[in-house]
Structure formats: structure tokens, C-alpha cells
Structure 1
Amino acid sequence: MSSTSSETGPATATAPVVPRHAASVLLLREQDGAVEVLLTRRHENMSFMGGMWVFPGGTLCPADLASASIATIPEPAQLKCHRLLDLDGVALPATTCLGLAVAAIRETFEETGVLLATTADGEHCGVEELARLHERRRAIVSQPELFATSLQEERLHLDVRRLLYWSHWITPSTVPKRFDTRFFLASLPPEQIASVDAIEATEMTWMTPAALIAAAHDGTMTVSRPTLYNVMELDASVRQHVSLDAIMRAEAQREAPPVLPKVVKGEQRMIVMPWDADYPMFAGSGVSQGMSYPQRLRTLPSRTSER
């Protein structure tokens, strides 16, 4: 789903792999009156989504759930953190919800250098603090527990309020590497500049959603379905609300039902979305038949084919 660095093991013949929790961020900016989203291109040699254009993100790791990491989120913000649901509509533990917010911000920092954090008095992270954290960026990639330590040393707090819960995608049950990914929107903090990490990613670009959709369709950029569908939703929001501030206000309380596609194999490999009328007829793990999807999702393609 997202640009994960950890991977699941192979599926057994009797049961699908249990997907790992992950978080990904659609980082947005407004440039010359146009809303743009940041994408990074994964290294060709990566076993998962090698060479594909993705949003910053990765798997939830134990360090994200540690008390030191949770403590970097101010208590008032902890109480207002997104309460996420699992595939069956059951609320996830509060610690898991907070850990996913930590993972989203940590992975965004590791891969882009952008830090969603503030000082104790609510001011944006300063240039000097950010520069010192950038010196540890590579170390944090291999030792994620250093992220909380570094924030504490700089007396910074994670600004989870900048994360707008956007969507929830689960890898199909027939795929050997599976992720249960929460996607968030976040606006680029003032005076910060994104820079590629050169470890997992080799390139980086800001694009309007419309330009990315066109590049995906004409084959000049390779993206996954979750990436494409999330950008299609973003494009619709941009066309409706125009400005970044208006988008963030309008989408603050949006529904994010789980999207668990099914893979149907035949002469052509077909991907079927849960809002497809025939979805329950196809084999594989799926969402509850009682799950409802908003019109914005039901206007997107319900099935696509691959050779």
C-alpha cells in the first residue's frame, strides 16, 4: 500500500497473511494557486513496489507504540486523535491509533525530511531544531526509537492535528505481502522543503492530482491502485473546493470506510472494488456485505483489468 520498509511473510495454503498496520501521508502544498501532492519513487531494487511512485509512509513499528513516542503527542491532542476502526467496525485500541499517527509523521520525516511538529507553545518547528534532526535522519531510518528521543531533546511535540484522516485500504487477501494502511492528508508546514532520502526513494516530485492521474493513465508514471484511487478522490476534492484551506476544512469529518479489493484471476487479472455490485460473488476475504460506501467512492471504477 504505502512505501513500507517491513514486509510480511508468505501466505499459507489455508489462510491469507494477516495484514500489518501501516500509515501513509498525502503531503499537500499550494503553489501558484494550484494544490499539489508529494510523491516519491521507490528504488528499483525494492522488493515491494520497486520503481513505483508512492506517498511517504510505512509500517507501524514497536517504537511507534512505545510510551516515549506516545508522550511526544500532547495530552489534549491525544484525546482528539482519530479513533480508527478495524475491518469489522470495531474500534482499535487508543494506543494503536496514536501509534499510527506517530508512524505517519515519522515515516514522512524519514522519507521527505518534512517534520509535522511544534514547540511547547505551539509554534512551528524552527530551522535550527529541524537542521539538528536532519543530521539524525538516516540513523532514525534504521533505529526508529531515536525519533522520539530526538524530539524530546529538541522539546518538540508531534503535531497530529495536521493529520486529516483520509482513507483506509487493505491489501487483497490473495497477496503474500499485506498491509492495513491508513492514509492521511497533511499540509506542508511553512518554510519547510521536502528532500528525497536516497535510501528507499530515488526521486521526488510535487504534482497536481490531475497531472498525476494523466501520467498514470499514459504510462509515464507507475502507481498502485491505492495511490491512484486516493489521488482521484483528491482531484475531485480539489475541483470542488479549489484551495488547500477549503479542502482541509471540508474534508475534516469525512467517512473512511475500509477498501479491501478482491483479485479475480482468469485470462485477465481483474481487481474488484467493494462497491461493485458483484463483489460478494467473488472468492477471497472481503468487507461486510452491509458496508456502505459514499457516493464519492461509488463514482470511481468498481473493477479494472490487468494483463
Structure 2
Amino acid sequence: MAKQVTTKLRQSASLILLAKDKNAVPSTPTYDYNALLLKRQSKSSFMPDSSVFPGGVCEATDASPAWLKHFERHDVGAAKLKEFCQTTQIEALNPNDQTLNTVLSLRLTALRETFEEMGILLCRDSKTWTNTDGYASFNEQFDRKHWQHEVHNDASKFLTLCEELDVLPDVWSLHEWCAWRTPSTFKARFQTAFYLTALKEQPNVLSEVNEVKDYYWHSPLDYLQSALRKEIWLPPPQFYELSRFLNFKSLEQLRQFAQKREVKGCVLIHPVMYKCTDGMVHLLPGDDKYPENPDATSDKIETALSTAAFRALAKNLHRSEHKNQHESQLLINFDPSDGQVNPIDPRTL
């Protein structure tokens, strides 16, 4: 008998940082930007040694009303914040338990976690309050190591840091990109909002040694090819989203797409794991075989079929097929309802 799902979901947020590659040659068929990924420590409790975008679990302080007072002190009052919050937002797990609008609190989580893990503070000051070019600003002119330690030990210190520096977290440069939920087969489960932001230059990384084993700035294609060569391990959300970026050679093109698309919201991607005779299949929303209740069981679902035979049962495909941790293939043959682009197979490039 299949086990019922009892694991509680935790809300989290991640930040996809994309920066112009200063070494990119104009008019060449390569990507003119790099993405920042960190490699988790081997002792990490969730997906150790994986290469992921910065991010983590939402803390109560990320939804504190004290943030509203901080924004108001910089002439960003309730009316301006309400206007900002009119954009379609990623659904909160507990919408009735929010002291700060989810549009803001999830962005604050992504920004705080990025500072905790990578020492990168995306913010606006008196010179950049009215910046409208769509690119994020960052500040490195303070004792980052000290404050990174403070915020890592106490999430509420992120607000203190912003007050001390007289800056606002750059929530305006973050665009809703996607939302993923951990499969029901995992003991630790998260619903993660992924935000995308673009930078004109790469900031200097100051990685947090307890959480970060290593970090990289590479193009989407470089990451995916490294994963296929078994040099790094990209969990499904990272592999999928980096494959989406293969549609965009230009950072400006990608930034404009993300900015325009986010008003359509995000389809929550909740993989359901099926066991085939020659590998695993993660079914995704919209696939003909996707179950009505993706949380019905905490077990992998047996098919007694090969991945090819299981695929033949569906006309509308949205799935990833896995031979092992490194060899995977993404399949989707319809346009997403949220206006997103489909992933491209890196092996075809």
C-alpha cells in the first residue's frame, strides 16, 4: 500500500544571478553572460555536493512589518509598494499568515540568502533610487565578511545592515522566473520561488565556508555540458532552467523577456517520480500521465515499463527521463500556459 504524504512543505526562494561576460566577443554565436552557481558542502542536509543557485528557506523576519517602515523612510510608502505588488505573484504556502506581501517577502528571502551564501548585496542607495535600466545594483564598500557572519547567524540582521548602510534591498530588479516544489518522495520538502536578475558586471563573491564548497561563473551551455560529462551535478530545477536559458544568447534579450513575462505568473512545477525498468521519469504538469494528485504517495510509482514504452502512452509530453544522476533528457511538446520558453537539449548545440 502506498504511503500517504505527511512531510510539511517549507517556503523558500532562490536567486538566479546573471552577469555580463566581459570576455565575450560581440557578434559571435556564444552567450554574452554567465550565471552564478554554488556547490553545496558535502555535509549539507539537502542535496549535498550539488551545484545550485543561491537561496534558502524563508524566515519570519523576511515578512516583518519593520521592512515597511524601512521602505517608508526612503519615500517608498504603502502606495508605491502596493503598486509594485500588483504584479502576479508566486502563490504563498500560507497566504493568510503573511504580515508582508509575498511579492516582497520572497524577494527579501532571495536577496538575504544570496548575501549570506555569496556575500553579494544587491541594493539601491540615494544615487540609484530611480534606476530604470532594469539591471541590479550592488554594494561592496563595507565590511562584508563581518556582516555576512552576522546575517548568517541572525536573519534579522539583514534589515540592520540595510539600515546601517542607508540602502534598500533591490527588490525591483528581481523578476519572477519559475516555481518548483520538491517531490513527495523526499523527506525534506520545499516550495521554491526562483527570481532572475541581471548585472552589468560580475560582483566579487565572498562565499560562506560552512555552506559553500565552491562557486562558478559560467554560461548556461558550459554548465549543462559539464553536467553531461559528470563533472558537476545539477539537480532537476537547475538543469531545467539552465536549459531554458539556451534560448537566449544575449543577456539583454533574456532580461527583457523575463520582465515582460512575469505578469503572467508561474506554473508550479511539481515533479512526480515514476520508476521504469531502465531509469527514472519525473512527470511534470501538463503531461498526459501527470496524476490528478501529485502528493498522493511518498513512494516512487512503479510502471514495469521502459522509459520509451512509458513515453509512448502519452501524446502531450512534459517530463524528464533519467538514466542516472547525470544523464537526463527533458521532453516537452507544447507551449507552457505561463508564457515561458521551453528548454533546449544541450546535446543539440
2:319 is aligned, of 299, 302, 305, to: 302
2:183 is aligned, of 172, 183, 190, to: 172
Match of 2:89 in 1: 84
> Which of the pair has more CA radius of gyration?
2
The one-letter code of the counterpart of 1:224 is P
**1:203-243 Cα shifts (integer Å, max 9, x gaps):** 0100100111111112111110011001111122x2xxx32
The one-letter code of the counterpart of 2:7 is V
**1:262-306 Cα shifts (integer Å, max 9, x gaps):** 0123544332112322113786459xxxxxxxxxxx999613135
- 1:239-254 to 2 correspondences below 5 Å: 242-254=249-261
- Structure 1 residue 114: Cα displacement: 1.2
Whole-angstrom distance in 1 between the partners of 2:291 and 2:171: 37
Q: Is this contact kept in 2: 1:22–1:179, CA < 8 A?
A: yes
Whole-angstrom distance in 2 between the partners of 1:147 and 1:270: 40
Whole-angstrom distance in 2 between the partners of 1:285 and 1:84: 26
Match of 1:117 in 2: 123
Whole-angstrom distance in 2 between the partners of 1:306 and 1:72: 50
Q: Is this contact kept in 2: 1:77–1:160, CA < 8 A?
A: no
The one-letter code of the counterpart of 2:181 is I
Q: Which stretch of structure 1 is more off in the superposition, 62-71 or 134-143?
A: 62-71
- 1:93-112 to 2 correspondences below 5 Å: 95-112=101-118
The one-letter code of the counterpart of 1:253 is K
The one-letter code of the counterpart of 1:278 is K
The one-letter code of the counterpart of 2:191 is D
Aligned CA-pair RMSD: 2.9
Match of 1:141 in 2: 152
Match of 2:235 in 1: 224
Whole-angstrom distance in 2 between the partners of 1:157 and 1:208: 29
Match of 2:303 in 1: none
Q: Percent identity?
A: 24
**SS of residue paired to 2:149:** helix
- 1:26-41 to 2 correspondences below 5 Å: 26-31=16-21, 32-33=23-24, 34-41=32-39
Aligned residues: 278
Whole-angstrom distance in 1 between the partners of 2:317 and 2:150: 41
- Whether 1:208 and 2:219 are equivalent positions in the alignment is yes
**1:159-210 Cα shifts (integer Å, max 9, x gaps):** 1111011101111123211111010111236573123221201101001001
Whole-angstrom distance in 2 between the partners of 1:232 and 1:86: 24
**SS of residue paired to 1:265:** strand
Match of 2:327 in 1: none
1:58 is aligned, of 31, 52, 56, to: 56
- Structure 1 residue 52: Cα displacement: 0.6
Shift in CA distance, 264/193, structure 1 to aligned 2, threshold 3 Å: same
Match of 1:192 in 2: 203
Q: Is this contact kept in 1: 2:90–2:179, CA < 8 A?
A: no
Q: Which stretch of structure 1 is more off in the superposition, 112-121 or 259-268?
A: 259-268
Whole-angstrom distance in 2 between the partners of 1:97 and 1:161: 10
Match of 1:292 in 2: none
- Structure 1 residue 18: Cα displacement: 2.8
**SS of residue paired to 2:117:** helix
The one-letter code of the counterpart of 1:305 is H
- Structure 1 residue 107: Cα displacement: 0.6
The one-letter code of the counterpart of 2:57 is T
Unaligned runs of 5+ in 2: 25-31, 130-136, 298-314, 325-349
Shift in CA distance, 234/92, structure 1 to aligned 2, threshold 3 Å: farther
Q: Is this contact kept in 2: 1:68–1:149, CA < 8 A?
A: no
Whole-angstrom distance in 1 between the partners of 2:202 and 2:37: 19
Whole-angstrom distance in 2 between the partners of 1:252 and 1:266: 39
Whole-angstrom distance in 1 between the partners of 2:169 and 2:62: 12
Q: Is this contact kept in 2: 1:275–1:302, CA < 8 A?
A: no
1:257 is aligned, of 264, 267, 283, to: 267
**1:27-84 Cα shifts (integer Å, max 9, x gaps):** 0111123211000000011121111101000010111111223444433356314542
- Structure 1 residue 251: Cα displacement: 2.0
Whole-angstrom distance in 2 between the partners of 1:300 and 1:44: 35
Unaligned runs of 5+ in 1: 1-11, 287-297
